[in-house]
Structure 1
Amino acid sequence: MPTTGTGSRPGDPPGRTPAGTAAATPAGRARLNRDIVLRAAVDLADTAGIDAVSMRSLAAGLGVVPMALYKHVANKDELLDGMVEAVVGEIEPARRDEDWKASLRRQVLSARRALLRHPWAPAVIESRPAPTPRVLDHLDSVLATLRSGGLSVPLAHHAMHALGSRVWGFTQEVFPSAPPPEDPAQRAQLVAAMAARWPNIVESAAGAGHDATSTVGAGCDDQAEFEFALDLLLDGIERRHREGWTPAS
């Protein structure tokens, strides 16, 4: 979420330094802390993309020399880990006042909202060589939700594998494609050519309610598709639990 030079982020308590900015000391020098550095890095990635994030560009945005950052993050890897921690920290905690399936669904959809606010985050989460403490906190919380519903350890383990990256709120697109041509005639010609070679793909897209003349690259309702798959998995896990599933069965 981008910040301005003098404004504050909604929800910041009175007197709090605006996110992504350094507090000023009486001498007028920038006073940093780790939280300010990480928030500024997340803001920079949100507005300019993850490739724009470097120690030099981050220091310039904060109005300090790059060496000042190394007191709070040792290197670029530690910076990326901290950014992941900041994003994962936005995920709502599990609730124990509802059944396990509703609680897990709520938590996964909260993770999705967090990652939609930070489109760069999925690639960074997948790129990290080892999980950070807050990442492990989230995974432990998901497993605790499954176990609180009475699922066995083996079933909870298999459920985590089935959910995969959905516990982080994202999945890989099945049919990645470029945007379709803007010209309707060219778009129709492209669809016709695709239908001649890949009729089932075109039929599937058209059958899902897409305009047949804009099938190529038109995409789907990502949120609806995500929730459909999530509910399908949760229903299947619940059914296995009711049936008393074990690895031997």
Structure 2
Amino acid sequence: MAKNTSSRKSERLPLSRERILWAALRLADEGGLEALSMRKLAQALEVKAMSLYNHVANRDDLIDGIVDSVVSEIEVPKPGADWKIAMRRRAISAHEVLLLHPWATMPLVSRVNVGPAMLRYVDSTLGCLKEAGFSFEMADHAWNAIDSHVYGFTLQELNFPIEASAYGDIAAAYLPQIPAEQYPYMNQLTHQVIQGDYDGLHDFEFGLDLILNGLERLLK
């Protein structure tokens, strides 16, 4: 029995910052940031909690690290590329990645994120816009406008209380609260959803294209 235990210990991967962040990312993906604690992380890694502090400073450092890991999954635009195509692909990639990691959008918008992946991501974005002819000031405004759409749409999609398949039934249930004489346009729109003429689903790329087309006119 002692021999088997020793063998298992020898086969265990050595603790490292990369291994800790990988395990932390899995915990956050499974249960959100509220599920991420040093104690739970140590249990998942089968180590003593204190040993984690040899590689991460604290829980904040841990969150910063896994946020940067998420950012590293987003497609990065290249300076010199067609800026509009690159920004569109970047935004769609960011939206898809954040849906895969539902906890990540809030720390992205509420923390100072200066990890290597984030710095590369922002620098390449600025570079792509600057090389396309935007001033630094307008490039900064442009990528922030795009990201505001990405983050806002993603948060709404993740937290909206109605499943898409139930829109028609929910619209019918709420119709009595939207009388035509008081709310004529909302009433007509609700009837379109009930009748199936319109699915009521908002399109991420619709808003994205409005922003990109506006930036294109500004550049010209």
TM-score normalised by the chain length of structure 1: 0.70
Structure with more of its chain in helix, by fraction: 2
Q: Counterpart of 2:108 in 1: which secondary structure?
A: helix
Partner residue, 2:70: 87
- Structure 1 residue 118 corresponds to structure 2 residue 98: no
- Structure 1 residue 69 corresponds to structure 2 residue 47: no
Amino acid at match of 1:229: G
Could you tell me how far apart the structure 2 residues matched to 1:110 and 1:206 are?
A: 34
Q: Please, which runs of 5 or more residues in structure 2 have no aligned partner?
A: 1-6
Q: Please, which runs of 5 or more residues in structure 1 have no aligned partner?
A: 1-23, 243-249
Pick aligned residue for 1:139 from 94, 106, 122 = 122
Deviations 1:99-151 (A, max 9, x none): 111011111211112111101110121232x2223323212221111112112
| Higher RCO (C-alpha under 8 Å, 6+ residues apart) | 2
- Structure 1 residue 238 corresponds to structure 2 residue 204: no
Q: Structure 1 stretch 193-202 or stretch 147-156: which is displaced more?
A: 193-202
TM-score normalised by the chain length of structure 2: 0.78
Deviations 1:131-188 (A, max 9, x none): 22332321222111111211222322332342243466855539x75338x8x98863
Q: Is the Cα–Cα contact under 8 Å of residues 46 and 118 in structure 1 kept in the other structure?
A: yes
Pick aligned residue for 1:152 from 135, 143, 155 = 135
Deviations 1:180-207 (A, max 9, x none): 8x8x988634332144665544544655
- Structure 1 residue 229 corresponds to structure 2 residue 179: no
Q: Is the Cα–Cα contact under 8 Å of residues 77 and 124 in structure 2 kept in the other structure?
A: yes
Corresponding residue pairs, total: 207
Paired residues for 1:188-203 under 5 Å: 188-195=172-179, 199-203=184-188
Paired residues for 1:1-249 under 5 Å: 27-28=10-11, 31-95=14-78, 98-128=81-111, 130-133=112-115, 134-166=117-149, 170-173=153-156, 178-179=161-162, 188-195=172-179, 199-204=184-189, 210-211=193-194, 220-221=201-202, 225-242=203-220
Aligned pair in 2 of structure 1 residues 152, 69: CA closer, same or farther (>3 Å)? Answer: same
Partner residue, 1:6: none
